[in-house]
Amino acid sequence: MVRIAHLSDFHTSDEALFESEHLIVEPLIDDLKSFHDDQPIDLVVCSGDLVNRGGQGFDSTQEAFGAFSERVAVPLLEALSLSRSRFILVPGNHDVDYSRDSSISEKGIAEKLTSQDEIREYIESESQEGSERINSYHDFAVDFYDDAEEPSSQTRYESVFIYENGRDLQIGVAALNSAWRCAPSSNEEKLLLGRHQVIRALEHLAGCDVKLAVSHYNPRYLSEPDQASVESLVRREFDLLFSGHIH
């Protein structure tokens, strides 16, 4: 049996840092520690919106992610005696910095990514034009997992975690980036995840007995041409999906 704590949408804010730490995070950790002492928690999933409005109120987005790490993630992991490789992160719409992309590149990429083939070509190209908004989150994630045993694969889009749970049971987790096309307004019209992102993760998870997916947005909220293709694939290939955003 695997015990998973699913958390989401902390919206770490400079304005409410003290209140958040003492009224939300500390009581949460106390409760999780009590559950953990009764029966150990194996994994912690955090399905996005680590910070609020791209780190608004902090000097930089990176400082905001640093506050989340220091005030939320690290104390929680220490209380549960878990390593960072057991803390699974994905970005949400509040974790992107829209100002990194110009209006021209935004308009161009929105007009181009209208089919699964075009989305796949863009993801494979590793181009950052029109998606620099996720760079701060990606830099944070790379630093967060530095020297950790997991993830076994990490890109600007998906990350893959594989765990041995004793009894020869292998658990695979696909941490999917559903925020890379988030826009300041009308998010629902532009949300893309990309079937190719899911396929790449599944290639790493081929030998796993249990497959879990994590995404800030549930696939049903994706725009076309993504929604039907991605939702059907996730439903078919994964045993459980963790998502956030609705709160």
User: What is the model's pLDDT at position 184?
Assistant: 56
- Strand-pair partners of 212: 173, 240
User: What is the model's pLDDT at position 150?
Assistant: 79
Residues of the chain with pLDDT under 50: 186
101 and 136 Cβ atoms separated by less than 8 Å: no
User: What is the model's pLDDT at position 18?
Assistant: 72
Q: At what angle do helices 135-144 and 61-68 cross, to 10 degrees?
A: 40
- Own/partner long-range contacts of 108-114 (Cβ < 8 Å, ≥24 apart): 109/181, 110/190, 113/181, 113/192, 114/225
User: What is the model's pLDDT at position 33?
Assistant: 97
Tokens matching residue 12: 């770490």
Segment 127-167, tens digit of pLDDT: 999 899 999 999 999 999 998 887 889 999 999 999 987 76
User: What is the model's pLDDT at position 222?
Assistant: 93
User: What is the model's pLDDT at position 23?
Assistant: 87
